[in-house]
Chain A
Amino acid sequence: MSMLWHLVRYEYRMSTRRAGMWIVFALLALFYFASSLRTDADPASSLNTAEWWAYVGQWAFTLNLFLPVVGGILAADRMQRDERLGVIELLQSTPLDRWTYILGKYFGTLFSILTPVLALVILLVGLLVAYGAPPALFAMGLGAFLLINVPAYAFITIFSLGCPLIMPVRIYQVLFTGYWFWGNFLNPDFLPTLAGTLLTPCGKYAMNAFFNTTVGVDAPTYTALEAVLNLALLADCILLAMVALERLLARRARRA
């Protein structure tokens, strides 16, 4: 367990030291605040608790429009670079078992790409509270972060770690960027897509079912059961992808 913790911590520190991550997240944060933050004169106290709950849910979903693309691209080289730099052989010569390695990489990378998102949520909620929103909004914001943002990043992180091991990183970067739009926001009437199915990781199920809000005029509504099924299915996909990754690394270790 201590080895896992050290691996998570080391991976987290390596990942968060990249200036590009903070710069791009900061640019997108500026964009978010400039384009959609409530700074009008309407008193924040005019919203009741249910309306604030819906508002933070909608905002958390809005963060899932673009930021996961940045997170997925950032995570794409975290495991692949170990093979590219030759570090993987060094790690295999240590008493580090494969599952500890995979989980350490996964959680270290996941926490690192969630950090700027959490910072953005806290900043947003802090600004709203400064404008008169109830302090309970911090708890609501955290709830929205856990139910809407975290599942999306948890889903994309495992695929961003594993897929670049079987294809060049830049191919994955292109395919992933296209997938995020195609698999979450493309109108099914335009092209066949996973958008709107239970395999959608962008958080629209949780937003509608748990936060009682939607984005768009004719957006479909979902029940709490469907939202739970959506989260369970995403968790299953994450576990399956982890097992597949472990098997892939085991096969490569045998061939080495």
Chain B
Amino acid sequence: MKKYPLLPLRYIVAALRPDQWVLPGALWALFVLIVWMVRGDPSDTQVVTAYLGFVLPLVSGILAANAILDDRALELLLAAPRPAWLTLTERLGVTVVSQALLALAYQGAMAFLGMDLAFLGNLAVRQLAWLIPTLGLIAVATAFSFLLAQSIAGALLVGAIWIVQTILHGWFLVTPWRRHLFLFLGAYRPGHPDLPTNQALLAGLTLALLLLAWALFRRQERYL
């Protein structure tokens, strides 16, 4: 099997635009501050859930939509003899890893502030509450951006899905088939009996969308 050189980590970090760190970091700090101010209030667990379950996936989806097609050196990137899956992995991987670090740091901050996160489940289950919607929105953003060859298309669909599911969460929770398509079930109803099925289904859809994105990205002339 042909081996492809991986980009050095220092290159990946150096090539990142500041906004990929500034906004996620600022939102992280904002929500830590808000939790610090409201801890002890009845709404403190809701604020904790808001960042992990809602804000993190939204930021991830929008960043993923702009991760590849908005690259100013896109032609150079596509001219390099590197397979599509490797480029996708590197670019989306940066988003996933950075958001994962923020999610773990947030949980650490909550522990430092004395907030008990057991209501979201044990340590492993708690990670699924943010990881499933995050990966789902990343997959939607990437696939749709490639489908229409415009990063704004992916951002549009991520924003639309996020706002619809956030505002109409009650409508999604009512019937089983809608619950299974609800990205934020892990945040709204941790411990719900339908949660494993919901997360398995969403994981499958995420994988299918990522495969679609890979198939579309292989036709690189569409993006030049």
Contact = CB atoms under 8 A, between A and B. Distances in A.
A173 B164 contact: no
A77 to B, nearest CB: 6
Given A27-B160, A73-B159, A191-B47, A170 B148 contact: no
Which of B47, B155, B159, B164 is most buried by chain A, counting CB atoms within 10 A of its CB?
Answer: B159
A24 B62 contact: no
Contacts of A175: 23
Contacts of A176: 159
Interface residues of A, number: 35
Nearest to A180: B163
A170 B16 CA distance: 14
B159 A170 contact: no
Contact of A177 (B17, B34, B162, B171): B162
Nearest to B164: A66
A181 interface: yes
B160 A28 contact: yes
A177 B23 contact: no
Nearest to B38: A191
Contact of B62 (A173, A189, A191): A173
Interface in A1-55: 18-21, 23-24, 27-28, 31, 35
Which of B17, B47, B55, B162 is most buried by chain A, counting CB atoms within 10 A of its CB?
Answer: B162
A170 B156 contact: no
B65 A20 contact: no
Given A170-B62, A170-B66, A170-B155, A181 B163 contact: yes
Contacts, number: 92
Interface string B52-90: 000100110011011000100000000000000000000
Give the interface SS of chain B, mostly helix, strand, loop or mixed: helix
B152 A177 contact: no
A240 B163 CA distance: 28
Contacts of A177: 58, 62, 159, 162-163
A169 interface: yes
A24 B157 CA distance: 6
Contact of A20 (B62, B70, B150, B168): B150
A185 interface: yes
25 contacts: A18-B150, A20-B144, A20-B157, A23-B153, A28-B160, A31-B164, A35-B168, A66-B164, A69-B160, A70-B160, A73-B155, A73-B156, A73-B159, A169-B66, A170-B23, A170-B62, A170-B63, A170-B65, A174-B23, A174-B58, A174-B62, A174-B63, A177-B62, A177-B163, A180-B163
The 8 A-B pairs at the shortest CB distance, nearest first, are namely A20-B153, A168-B19, A177-B159, A170-B66, A69-B163, A174-B62, A20-B148, A171-B23
Interface of B: 17, 19, 22-23, 34, 43, 46-47, 55, 58-59, 62-63, 65-66, 70, 144, 148, 150, 152-153, 155-157, 159-160, 162-164, 166-168, 171
